[in-house]
Amino acid sequence: MTTIEKIQKQISENPIILYMKGSPKLPSCGFSAQAVQVLSQCGVPFAYVDILQNPDIRAELPNYANWPTFPQLWVEGELIGGCDIMIEMFQSGELQTLIKETANKYQTA
């Protein structure tokens, strides 16, 4: 499986996925920490990939996403953006709505 195939599989199998430095419990950069904080406040579990542990993904994802920086939030296969966009969306209430609607769609009965 190529790195791009791995990324596509992760994005397709996880309706809400954050590519970040470190983990939600131990983020390794301030931007990843802020991204986790706003996502966590949405009250919905999300998947994550630690790009520091996956240098192949760290190298390939910016090209695939056409987005140069991390963290990257993907919802339903679509790149939402990085830390600044997530914070703006959170402050407007847009992020909470998007995350909760997505989580409700994928909840198993």
Residue 70 counted as an annotated binding residue: yes
Residue 50 counted as an annotated binding residue: no
What does the H/E/C string look like for 4-39?
HHHHHHHHHHCCEEEEECECCCCECCHHHHHHHHHH
Residue 83 counted as an annotated binding residue: yes
Residue 84 counted as an annotated binding residue: yes
Report the greatest alpha carbon distance in the chain.
39
Can you say which residues are annotated as belonging to the binding site for [2Fe-2S] cluster? Answer: 29
Can you say which residues are annotated as belonging to the binding site for glutathione? Answer: 21, 58, 70, 83-84
Can you say which residues are annotated as belonging to the binding site? Answer: 21, 29, 58, 70, 83-84
